[in-house]
Amino acid sequence: MKIQAGNILIYFLSFTPIINAQNEQYSSSHQLDLEKYRDFPTIPDTSIKYPPALGLSKSAQKLTHEVFGYLPYWEYNIYPNLRYDLLTTIAYFCLELNSSGNITNAHNWPVSGLIAKAHSNGVRVVLCAILFDKTALQTLLQSAINRANCINNLVSKVVQAGADGINIDFEGVPSTQRANLVTFMQELADTLRALNPNSHISMATPAVDWSGAWDYQALANICNTLFIMGYDYYYSGSTTSGPNSPLTGGNYNITNTVNDYLTKTNNNFRKILLGVPYFGHEWQTSTNQAYSPTLATGKSVFYDGAEANATLYGKLWDNNSQTPWYRYYTSQWNQGWYDDSLSLSLKYNFAKSKQLQGIGIWALGYDGYRSELWQALQSAFTTTQVIAAHPTLPDSWQVTNYPNPSNPGTTFRIHCPDTDNLSAPWQLQIYALNGQLVYVTTFRFNDKVYSHYWSGRDNFGCQQPAGIYLAVISGPGKVYTLKFTLLK
């Protein structure tokens, strides 16, 4: 989502931050994450054994609302651990398109392992197709030939995989293509539903329609779901720190966004889904105060890293936006703003109060092996009563690292609940994106938790370049992976 210069968000008289929320001048978190992990190596399903899913029920629970989650290809290997009893739809992200409607990268689709696992648990899988370039979108949408080519390619991929539908994530749509976007979605829906009347058609839609390119009412009438990307109100390029997904406060927030959708769709609440973030943003700031001016472009931080930071440095609460944040000092102040189980629960309750279809998640896997966000979903959308717990030692395998991104090094923390494996030899291997092994160490657990600091150097003492790395922890019958970023 994007921040538009010239649109002023006022929290107090002294704060005039720029707001993103899908402005076509800026890249959304969907696009930024894709660019960040474009070359992330995919490990085949058969090469990894996974721990049991956290509290996965033997029989799926009946959810009261839609729970729609994006699963990016760089998080694909976590699919056996998902709580399928707390999901209704998984959108595999992504298949990339060009201006002619041709597929430029399918990112390992069809994903037969995910589809089989989801279907066996009563969860639908849809294919997410993306195009994030304004000029390319104009070329695609204004041409009947290009639209038809695109639709034929997408329908073929969905049918080939035995998937349940399609999700369209077009960002930067020109205002001149408002009507053609509706035409494209109608043609796509008609073609797919002619083959399978139960096909699920959905779209990722902006929190703020800056350019007037989105005919919400027409699109809601065509689609099963409009997934509001309810995040990036503040983003990495914001001039002040602030909430990624404010429920309240200022002129632009979740409450106003949802009310805008309800107005423009003639209160078609049954088609509207509130998308929430499993990530946040962190900036260097000039002070330790909330909404401080930022000193540089910020960075995104996944929920598991943000929650670890907040636990380490002290979690603060912003009553204005109803979201958590934290701060710490290195050579300057740093602030991180994100959503936790409490702020997400407040958004879930808001979605229910508005009678929305449900909620959506960007993105599955960004919570790591933590369980509290699953518990929040269970509390909100099932009849099961859940008391959220934050144990010091989890009762399942967990592999984390902090800080992430790291500079110059990072500490890996591995929790082993299985006492039978404590004395066995384990290995920590670190790979560069090109598959080169750069570091390896062997260890044994002295206790259930093992910590190891990696200095950013290989086994010969050579400093490794900045980039994305893959840590592989392996032991008796088990392999775990963790991606992280090394900064310089």
pLDDT cut 90: percent of the chain above it:
65
Mean pLDDT (the chain, rounded):
86
Provide the domain count of the chain: 2
pLDDT score of 25: 67
- 419 within domain boundaries: yes
Q: What are the E-state strand segments in 278-332?
A: 279-285, 299-302, 316-318, 323-329
Lowest-confidence range among 2-16, 48-62, 257-271?
2-16
Residue 348 sits in the same domain as residue 468: no
CATH of the domain at 238: 3.20.20.80
Q: How many Å apart are CA 340 and CA 326, to the nearest integer? A: 12
Residue 42 sits in the same domain as residue 182: yes
Lowest-confidence range among 118-122, 388-392, 408-412, 461-465?
388-392
- 387 within domain boundaries: no
pLDDT tens digit sequence for 133-151? 999 999 999 999 999 999 9
pLDDT score of 471: 86
Q: What's the pTM?
A: 0.76
* Helix, strand, coil tally for the chain in percent (to 5): 30, 30, 40
* Domain of residue 12, residue span: 4-381
pLDDT score of 385: 55
Lowest-confidence range among 169-178, 277-286, 301-310?
301-310
Residue 121 sits in the same domain as residue 34: yes
Residue 434 sits in the same domain as residue 319: no
Q: How many residues does the chain have?
A: 488
Residue 347 sits in the same domain as residue 428: no
* Secondary structure letter of residue 19 according to DSSP: E
Burial class (CB in 10 A: 0-12, 13-18, 19+), 183: middle
pLDDT score of 11: 33
* Token pair of 367 as six digits: 């919570």
| Residues near 446 by beta carbon (within 8 Å), at least 6 away in sequence | 422
- The interaxial angle of helices 134-142 and 178-195, nearest 10 deg, is 60
Residue 303 sits in the same domain as residue 440: no
* Secondary structure letter of residue 382 according to DSSP: S
Higher pLDDT, 61 or 420: 420
Per DSSP, the three-state class of 340 is: coil
- 56 within domain boundaries: yes
Confidence class of residue 423 from pLDDT cuts 50, 70 and 90? Answer: confident
pLDDT score of 20: 59
- 311 within domain boundaries: yes
Residue 344 sits in the same domain as residue 447: no
Got the DSSP string for 394-428? -SS-EEEEESSSBSS-EEEEEE---GGGTTS-EEE
pLDDT score of 13: 31
- 190 within domain boundaries: yes
Lowest-confidence range among 15-24, 194-203, 448-457?
15-24
pLDDT score of 4: 34
Residue 220 sits in the same domain as residue 303: yes
pLDDT score of 409: 83
CATH of the domain at 442: 2.60.40.1930
Residue 331 sits in the same domain as residue 437: no
Residue 34 sits in the same domain as residue 93: yes
Looking at 339, 356, 381, the residue that finishes a domain is 381
Residue 293 sits in the same domain as residue 166: yes
Looking at 320, 351, 381, the residue that finishes a domain is 381
Which sign does the torsion angle of CA 147, 149, 152, 157 carry? negative
Q: Is the peptide bond before 363 cis (omega within 30 degrees of 0)?
A: yes
Residue 227 sits in the same domain as residue 334: yes
- 388 within domain boundaries: no
- 391 within domain boundaries: no
- The number of angstroms, rounded, from the C-alpha of 50 to the middle of its chain's C-alpha atoms is 21
Mean of the pLDDT values across residues 277-284? Answer: 98
Higher pLDDT, 404 or 353: 353
Q: How many Å apart are CA 7 and CA 350, to the nearest integer? A: 26
Mean of the pLDDT values across residues 288-310? Answer: 95
Looking at 356, 381, 406, the residue that finishes a domain is 381
- 305 within domain boundaries: yes
In sequence order, the β-bridge partners of residue 429 are 440, 472
